[in-house]
Structure 1
């Protein structure tokens, strides 16, 4: 029996698939009709879906979109009212009754929703860019859309971006105390992330450390970039690692996720010379196992400046 036989299907990372929780929010429109928002979040970020706690305690300093904090299991966590963030009018009989408890970026957060429907397994290639009107309505916090039954659209929300907007994730901000680089080692680094917020943070940290950064938004764009770099290196008679010394890739990206991208890089005789670090908001064991399975060189949880710089200097190819 080979290694793959021990892995559940969702860990067969070459499948370029993910599982999402399909949940609903309802909006009362001006004409009195009800609009049903079909929304989704990656199962890997979800600890559980529960009934909304009766005891939610207001604490000072929280944004208006946060109802307060509640004790869930052994953790006291903030409870975000998604309807308030979306700026939608809730129907009287459809107020939030459930909470999706999520864990990512080393934080646990509760999101109040109207209804949890089902788990869907989808391919990253089925995720498309959102129409501008929808993306604008939700403040640019839709990472992708998926066509579901009857031609309706399911929207994948950028919860990291939402919580960053609310000022609720400490590690999202660049550490202002980060010293200027004290090392002479400067690297050319390719980062893959579909989140503009994430790319900006990573770029700021790494540029302050003296490195040159290239950015793309998906695994597909990452492979195209590497093909161009390979061609340049061949024309100049140098090795590809003279051009790029490290790749840092997110996992969740439309079109081609970071695990499939990493697998393809490691299977290519030229690209595989470049170390790949999986950089994700997920810290669960399953995600770490997936990163190892596709032969990623390291796994990093967003966004710890110290950890990021340590990983860069540990794994980037040294050129002397």
Structure 2
């Protein structure tokens, strides 16, 4: 069953809504963004090649239409007990694509797709950040608490090399160093790890004036205050801010909604906005364009992000 067959009606861009597919591990509900799901297939143990000396949750390589793809037992990785699982339950595999990589996740079953608002998504308390949480938040749907799984985090624990976005920051020449240090940037990203990586590589590349926010709503409020300052003092936007980098998936306010509000409600049409997300595909690229984003790029390409910023800010 292809994900595109399950939800043919696309969400209007910038409405701060998201579609979550609910699945089960034991008797507990979990969810992921539908945009990460390519398809759902029955689990066939005979199609799996075991990987010697791998961690317990790494089942092996799944043969999927002539290609081998990593298969992760999500219940094992999240250390979720068997619970009230019917022994006759036919497990399924979620075939997911994000960060330009395809990975498969074994789950105990799927329920349905829910359209919800990011505003209703409760982020995980920052208290859990040092413990490397595997969830980005939760939402209540029809009396059930659905935990949103951070698949990027799960993959980073199994394949650390896939999650390393840092690489080597470009050492700028004198011209770029002088030009970059005067540029003022904002970054909206809910993941502490990724947000710190983005800020670090921008600063190492010479962009010293970077202000970061944990979600789109906090960033929007800062931009709203900036707009009011501009109205009261007559200061030009370019004296305070040159470019915004935003994730798409964020609680409270997503990046598409943030971009739309920046370009329309705040009237900052000339402020370049770069969408930097693990979800970038043809459909999301179209949505980025719809809300007025000036460019978009996938999260593994962090050094390409620096080049994009250069293109907008270095004359």
Aligned counterparts, 1:30-179, within 5 A: 36-54=27-45, 55-60=47-52, 62-90=54-82, 93=87, 97-130=91-124, 139-150=132-143, 152-168=144-160, 170-176=162-168, 178-179=169-170
Tell me the secondary structure at the aligned position of residue 196 of structure 2.
helix
Tell me the secondary structure at the aligned position of residue 15 of structure 1.
coil
Q: Note the alpha carbon deviations across 1:176-228, whole angstroms, 9 max, x for none.
A: 3x332221321221111111122022112111111121111222111111123
Provide runs of 4+ in structure 1 moved above 6 Å: none
TM-score (norm 2): 0.86
Query: Is the aligned partner of 1:206 residue 2:198?
Result: no
Tell me the secondary structure at the aligned position of residue 10 of structure 2.
helix
**What is the distance in 2 between the residues matched to 1:315 and 1:287?**
21
Instruction: For residue 249 of structure 1, report the CA deviation from its aligned partner.
Output: 0.6
The gaps in structure 2 that reach 5 residues or longer are 1-7
Residues 314 and 62 from structure 1, CA distance in 2 versus in 1: closer, same or farther, beyond 3 angstroms?
A: farther
**What is the distance in 1 between the residues matched to 2:163 and 2:126?**
29
Aligned counterparts, 1:186-225, within 5 A: 186=180, 187-211=183-207, 212-225=209-222
Number of aligned residue pairs: give it: 298
Tell me the secondary structure at the aligned position of residue 104 of structure 2.
strand
2:227 is aligned, of 226, 230, 237, to 230
> Is the 8 Å Cα contact of residues 297 and 315 (structure 1) preserved in structure 2?
no
**What is the distance in 2 between the residues matched to 1:315 and 1:99?**
42
Instruction: For residue 281 of structure 1, report the CA deviation from its aligned partner.
Output: 0.5
Q: Which residue of structure 2 aligns with residue 16 of structure 1?
A: 16
TM-score (norm 1): 0.85
Q: Note the alpha carbon deviations across 1:140-174, whole angstroms, 9 max, x for none.
A: 22212111123x21111111122112234525331
